[in-house]
Structure 1
Amino acid sequence: MAFTYGFFNSLNGDRKYTAEQLSSIFDGLIADGVFDSIGDILATVPGSGMQVIVKSGKAWFNRTWSYNDAPMPLTIPAADVTLKRYDAVVLEVNTETATRANSIKIVSGNPGSDPSKPTLTNTEKVHQHALAYILVNAGATSINAGNIENVIGKTECPFVTGLPGPADISDLFEQWEYDFDVWFANLKAQLTDNVAANLQAQIDELKESAYKTYTGTTLPASSLGSNGDTYVQVLG
């Protein structure tokens, strides 16, 4: 456990900071994901033959940023002759000392009659984040749009969330207020109906009780009007 801080000017090398310390200033400000307003959000589209294209975009994962400024072609490994499989287009963050790099690559799954999507690496040093899944049919020689499932903006690869700055929520507040007024009006209407029904039931009960007290019999249902008024005169 240690107390850290930053940043201050270095004098003769007495203040040195790691990349992790620099990136940590964003902790609590933005959450991992793909930026939804930069480029083409790293979307995967068909290329020629067994290629797919990862479009432009920027992402922030595991305290690192990745930026692709041009279409990136990736080649899907050859299809199985008789079985289909799922491949994943992933953004990999590798902090191994020998690597220390991010990349976009293909991770192939296992062929099968009912294949599962590949399990992605998620260790202390290597993290793979799915951008898309590709269904590679048996004997396929090309990939079409129907074979591609982009997962950007979904749970597996969400959009970056953070603090975009001050926002005017006047319209949103007005909508909330309107929705509340509608809800409250409906509630009042329901309560009014229930209260009236309960009150009428209690009145009928009292009339029934009074009639039995004087006559020893039950008040006939026909003696009540549609609004609960009693047509029988009880004599004292």
Structure 2
Amino acid sequence: MKEVKKMAQKCFPLNDVDYLAEDLRLFHAGRTVGVMQVTGNDFHTVAGAGMQTIVGKGVAYLLTQIDGLGGVVYANTDNVVFNHDVADALFNRYDAIIIRYDKETNACALKLIKGTPSSEPTKYIPKRSETEYELVIKYVYIVAGVGTITNSDIKDAILNEELCGIAVDTLAKIPTKQYDDQMKSWISNSQADFKKWFDDIKNQLTEDAAGNLQNQINSLNNKVNDLKDIFVVMEEDSYIPPEERKIGRLYFNTTDRVESGFNNEIRVSPNMGLKKV
């Protein structure tokens, strides 16, 4: 067999060149890890008899190492049945159904990981290193003292991108996190700038503008009060004789009108009853 040399600089495919699997993986270097949703409901999992779970067909894409370029495609073409250990008598636990790529064994397969019974059980965290890469697709809640698993005990983890995620091909991938971070940074800076501006304005209003506004309001109130003193309305029962009227005031007599006797019109006296003395 012809030896294939590893090179730091790679190109695929070229004529008359033998390649390693890791070279072929570069063809999918831009794909994100996760379930590929080939069936529309990949790795659908249901409860079986007793302590069993049944995992359906599905396809997933995994890296071959953490921060690596390219990866492998895993396919489950038939149902896989897992037998879970019996429940603890006192404490609950979370089992995990995972897809694991193992570089040392050169294999990729579905695995069942038994959780640790506890009063506060924790969920399995996928391992990712230079030699293995895992995706968590389901958590199964094992209730203490119970001998069966129900569908409600099976928790999906596929949509969690830290655990699994949905695979996205190269041409469809958009670096949204970068834009999201930039937008969040802009919003944060804008909020900080607005808060500083608002605080400055608030302080100015408290010390200067608010005081000036209040002074103007007080001045207007004083003028209104002065007008009340200047205009005096005289009703029929409160008529003030001229000799008793004060200087600088306007007296308004509401009875100072004459009926014209023509079409019920009202003719008001020329001075509208106003007389300044």
Please indicate, yes or no, whether the TM-score normalized by the shorter chain is above 0.5.
yes
Distance in 2, Cα, partners of 1:221 & 1:152:
73
Q: CA deviation at 1:6?
A: 2.1
**2:149 equivalent in structure 1:** 143
- TM-superposition CA deviations, 1:174-227 (whole Å, max 9, x none): xxxxxxxxxxxxxxxxxxxxxxxxxxx9xxx7xx59xxxxxxx8122885xxxx
Task: Show the counterpart of 1:188.
Answer: none
Alignment of 1:158 onto 2:158 = no
Give percent identity, aligned residues only.
28
CA distance in 1, matches of 2:34, 2:137: 10
Q: CA deviation at 1:164?
A: 6.6
Q: How many residues align?
A: 179
- Give the corresponding residue for 1:77: 85
- Matched with 2:35 is 34
Closer, same or farther in 2 for the Cα pair 1:104/1:221, shift >3 Å? farther
Matched residue SS, 1:219: helix
**Mapping of 1:159-174 within 5 angstroms?**
159-163=166-170
**Residues 29 and 170, structure 2, Cα contact 8 Å, conserved in 1:** no
SS state at 2:219 partner = coil
2:25 alignment partner AA? S
Deviation of 1:47 (Å): 1.2
Which ranges of structure 1 fall in alignment gaps of 5 or more residues?
Answer: 166-200, 210-216, 224-236
Q: Name 1:130's counterpart in structure 2.
A: 136
CA contact (8 A) 1:110 1:118 kept: no
What is the CA–CA distance in structure 2 between the aligned matches of 1:222 and 1:25, rounded to whole Å? 85
- Displacement of 1:38 in angstroms is 2.5
Q: How far is 1:106 from its partner?
A: 0.5
The one-letter code sitting in structure 2 at the alignment partner of 1:91 is I
Amino acid at match of 1:92: R
* Structure (1 or 2) with the larger CA radius of gyration: 2
The unaligned stretches of length 5 or more in structure 2 are: 1-6, 64-70, 173-208, 225-277
CA distance in 2, matches of 1:49, 1:65: 32
Structure 1 CA distance for aligned equivalents of residues 128 and 100 of structure 2: 10
Q: CA deviation at 1:88?
A: 0.3
2:56 aligned residue: 55
Inter-partner Cα distance in structure 1 for 2:223 and 2:134:
78
Which one scores higher on RCO, CA 8 angstroms, separation ≥ 6? 1
- For the 8 Å contact 1:92–1:104, the answer to whether it is kept is yes
Q: Per the alignment, in what secondary structure is the counterpart of residue 23 of structure 1? A: helix
Counterpart amino acid of 1:137? V
Question: By how many angstroms is 1:140 displaced?
Answer: 2.5
**2:101 is matched with which residue?**
93
Out of 115, 125, 140, the residue aligned to residue 109 of structure 1 is: 115
Q: Secondary structure at the match of 1:24?
A: helix
Q: CA RMSD in A?
A: 3.3
1:77 and 1:221, CA in 2 relative to 1: closer, same or farther beyond 3 A? farther
Distance 1:160 1:222 in 2: 76
- Residue 51 of structure 1 and its aligned partner are, at CA, apart by 0.8
Per the normalisation by structure 2, the TM-score is 0.56
C-alpha separation in 2, matches of 1:69 and 1:43:
12
SS of equivalent to 1:153: coil
How far apart are the structure 1 equivalents of 2:12 and 2:132? 27
Aligned partner of 1:66 in structure 2 is: 74
Given that 1:39 and 1:69 are in contact with CA atoms closer than 8 Å, whether structure 2 keeps it comes out as: no
